[in-house]
Each structure stands twice: as structure tokens, then as C-alpha cells.
Amino acid sequence: MLLNPLVKTAIPVTAPCITPDWFSGKSVEEVGNLPVYYGNKEKRLRDVFDIKDDGKDIITLGSVPTVKYIGKGMTAGSIVIKGDAGMHLGAEMKGGCITVEGNVSDWAGAEMKGGEIVVAQNAGHCLGGAYRGSKSGMNKGLIVVKGNAGNEVGGLMKKGIIVVEGNLGDAAGCSMKGGTLICYGHPGNRLGALMQRGSIVLYESPALLPTFTYDAEYNPTWLRVFLRELQKTPHRIPITQNHIEGTYRRYNGDISELGKGEIFVFHE
């Protein structure tokens, strides 16, 4: 199914119906009749998008920087966005794959429970995070961002893997409860603040909070397993043999909280 926005607008479009689950078994007319919000007005999908059936199972969209909640709660299938995507992309998704060829806005993969999100450029704030008041953020799944990511990446994250190939904003991994956050660029300030459990893996030296303490330098076997699994994905994550076989400095924290979190900094 091909969806191209009819108008370029700054008004947010809320379209949680754009998922393979909702589209499955529906004709173009039926898909066009699905409800969306254009600002605060209820409209139909056909009012906002030009919809064509290309005979493929994949949902392909043009650049949609103001369309929110694409792929929300999806359980299977694929969505490809040929440009930028709006807020809450893949929020609470449970399976399937979303590929964004441009940038994605805030809250992408928020509270997701499975599946994959791959962003070719930059991601906004609260990537894989928890909504305010929620107990936990991302819980299983994989997010790969080829560019930079904003603040509070992986906030309250519980399980799953986030890979950011560029830089991280501030407070990445804040209040983490589990899962793995890997960053190849520069990590921002207050990394891992209030983290209880979980692992952050870095390939550039961070400015660590004083509530993180140095433990040891070694080659962690679990990381070898995880990196090799990531190497098998088609996302071309820049994992080298050195990253797998090299040593990492392990820091434990945040000791102002439970203190069972860890930051690994690649050494050699």
C-alpha cells in the first residue's frame, strides 16, 4: 500500500491506524475510510493521503514529519517511510519492522514491546522511552539510529537493544531498569543518571557522573554474544572484530539508586 501526503502542513496528524494490522485484508476504499485526526478534527485517511494499492504487503509512505503514531501497537509486517516521520513512531509496537529513510521525531519506539525500528538519519528525544507516569519504557525489540539521537534515550528502558551510531543527547539511559544501549558517538551529559539496572556500551569516553564507580577492565562474554547477534542483522551496524575481542572498562552505578547498572567503555 502506498500513502503519499496530499498537503504539506504543520498541523499534526494523529494516525495510529497506519499499521499492517489495521490495513490487513482491507481494500483501498476501506483503508481510506480509517479515522485520523487532523489537528483536533476527525477526518478519514483519504482526506490526508493519496492511497494506492501497489500489490505489496509493505506500507510505504512519503515524508510525513507531522504524522504521529505511525505503526502504533503493530504486531507484524513492515512500514517504510521515504523521508521523515513524526512523533510516537512505533510506540508500543510488538512486532514487525519500521524503516525510516530520513529523521524521526520524539518518542519513537516509546514503550515498544518487540519488533524493529531502523532510522537512517537522526532521532528525537525520548527514543524507546517511557511515557510520563509509566513504570517502564522499551521492553524488548531493537532500535537502530544511524545518526544522532536526542535527550533521554532509553529512559526507564527495561529490555531490548538501542543502537545509536551517532551522538547521544543528555540523560541517555536515565532511570534504566534493564536492556542494552549502545552508542558509537559522543554520549551526552548525565549519562545513565538514576539507572537501576541495564547496560550502556560506549565507544567514546564519557563524562561520567560521580555516582558511577570503576570496577575492572575485561572482555565481557555477554557483549561478544550481543555484538555478534547484531552483526547478523541487515542494519550494517559498525561493529568491528576489535569491538568484539577488545577490552572494556566497566563502571557500576548509579549508586544513588539501586546501583546495579553498568557502563562499558571500549578501551582497546
Partner 1 sequence: MQINEVEIVDTFAEAFKMYASRVLVTAINEEWAMHSASTVAGFGTSVIMCGCEAGIEGAAEDTPDGRPGVNILLFANSAKDLRDQLMRRIGQCVMTSPTSACFNNLLGEKEFVVGGQLRYFGDGFQISKRLNPTSEYPKGRRFWRIPVMGGEFLCEETFQAAKAVGGGNFLIIGTGIKPVLSASEKAVQAVRKVPNVIAPFPGGVVRSGSKVGSRYKFLTASTNTAYCPMVKSQTQSDLAEEENCVLEIVIDALDIESMNKAMHDGIHAACSVNGVTRISAGNYGGNLGKFIINLKEVV
Question: For residue 215, how far is the Cα from the chain centroid?
Answer: 30
Min separation Cβ 218 and partner 1, Å = 5
Q: How far is residue 61's CA from residue 82's CA, in Å, rounded to a whole number?
A: 6
Residue 186 has a CB neighbour count (10 Å cut-off) of: 15
Residue 175 has a CB neighbour count (10 Å cut-off) of: 23
Q: How far is residue 124's CA from residue 13's CA, in Å, rounded to a whole number?
A: 18
Residue of 50, 57, 204, 229 that binds partner 1 (CB under 8 A): 229
Q: Using CB under 8 A, which of the segments 85-93, 144-152, 185-193, 221-229 binds partner 1? A: 221-229
| Residue 68 or 250 with smaller CB distance to partner 1 | 250
Residue of 199, 201, 239, 264 that binds partner 1 (CB under 8 A): 199
Min separation Cβ 129 and partner 1, Å = 18
Min separation Cβ 161 and partner 1, Å = 7
Residue of 11, 207, 225, 258 that binds partner 1 (CB under 8 A): 225
Q: How far is residue 208's CA from residue 192's CA, in Å, rounded to a whole number?
A: 9
Whole-angstrom distance between the N-terminal and C-terminal Cα of the chain?
47
Taking residues 71 to 100 in sequence order and writing x for each that binds partner 1 by CB under 8 A, - otherwise, the string is ------------------------------
Q: Judge contact between 149 and 164, C-beta under 8 A.
A: yes
| Residue 56 or 224 with smaller CB distance to partner 1 | 224
Please state the φ and ψ torsions of residue 144, each to the nearest 5 degrees. -120, 125
| Residue 228 or 236 with smaller CB distance to partner 1 | 228
Q: How far is residue 265's CA from residue 60's CA, in Å, rounded to a whole number?
A: 38
Min separation Cβ 43 and partner 1, Å = 36
Q: Judge contact between 53 and 46, C-beta under 8 A.
A: no
Min separation Cβ 258 and partner 1, Å = 11
258 binds partner 1 (CB under 8 A): no
Q: How far is residue 200's CA from residue 187's CA, in Å, rounded to a whole number?
A: 10
Which residues form the interface with partner 1 (CB under 8 A)?
114, 140-142, 159-161, 178, 180, 197, 199, 218, 220-222, 224-226, 228-229, 244-245, 260, 262
